[in-house]
Amino acid sequence: MYRILIADDDKIEREGIKFLMTKYNFPLEIMEAKNGRAALELLQEHDMDVLLTDIKMPFMDGLQLAREARALKPRLKILILSGHGEFDYAKTAISLQVSNYLLKPIEPEEFHTVIAAVVQQLNQEQAAKAQQQDWQKVYEAGLVYQQEQRLRNLIHDSTDESDADSRKRAIEDVLRIIEREYEQDLSLDYLSKSVHLSASYLSHMFKKATGVSVVKYINQYRMEKAKYLLDQSNYKINDVYKMVGFSDMSYFGLTFKQSFGVTPKEYREKVRPS
């Protein structure tokens, strides 16, 4: 079930649109607003998939609402209602990357065609997102398996079983700390003190178990988190790099490109085209 917001100051028109939604049994939960300002507040408070807005409304017209909505929710599908004398407005709306527009008075057949196309697009995007999440789970499962396998090898190679258990626990503790505190200022010194080992011994043991240094592992973990946020959230890149523990935007961008071959901006544009 998706969610659509109907923004129109004419109650009769809103009721007519709701009637058609029900008649055609679209999988859309309906919310409504009687002006642009109220509609923007609902967009800020709720997840929305589709915005259907009239052009002329009090407090905030439909085009301004479309601009604000596009900035707030880049993947939102926007449909514009326009009258015969508002075609110039409709042309402006197209420049705002709206999905389509409907001419008033609404013709039921045209309404069905436009809404059905939007629902189909939402279904396709949802399927693509689900597939991407499945691949992500496979990828993450592979990483976990590799780490576990390396830990098993470390234990089997050790002649002292109790010492192997102790090292295994220490590495597991370090991995948990990284997962829990990756957004903080992590250092080898801090991690070694947390597990009561010398920095040099932890560094040697961690690389033997995981195949990478502590610093490289932290960066890889942060990069995966950054990639997830760029793909699945609306946070700005200026916020994302701080959220994953970087203090310098340039260094974050360089590390991201070294990891994935593209800059954070290029990655977001690739996975979330306008």
Q: Which residue has the higher pLDDT, 93 or 115?
A: 115
pTM over 0.75: no
Residue 209 pLDDT greater than 70, yes or no: yes
Identify the band that residue 40 occupies on the pLDDT scale cut at 50, 70 and 90.
very high
pLDDT value, residue 159: 47
Q: What tokens appear for 253 in the block?
A: 């961008």
Q: How far apart are CA 27 and CA 115, in angstroms?
A: 10
Q: In what order do the strands lie in the sheet with 50-54?
A: 28-33, 2-7, 50-54, 77-82, 100-103
Q: Which residue has the higher pLDDT, 99 or 224?
A: 224
Q: Look at the chain and count its residues.
A: 274
Query: Hey, where are the domains in the chain?
Result: 2-125, 158-271
CA 188, chain centre distance (Å): 31
Residue 84 pLDDT greater than 80, yes or no: no
User: Which CATH number does the domain 2-125 belong to among 3.40.50.2300, 1.20.120.430, 3.40.1190.20, 1.10.132.10?
Assistant: 3.40.50.2300
pLDDT tens-digit readout, 111-148: 999 999 999 989 888 887 777 665 666 556 566 667 66
> What one-character DSSP code corresponds to residue 234?
-
User: What's the mean per-residue pLDDT of the chain?
Assistant: 85
pLDDT tens-digit readout, 165-189: 777 888 899 999 999 998 888 888 9
158-271 CATH fold: Arc Repressor Mutant, subunit A (1.10.10)
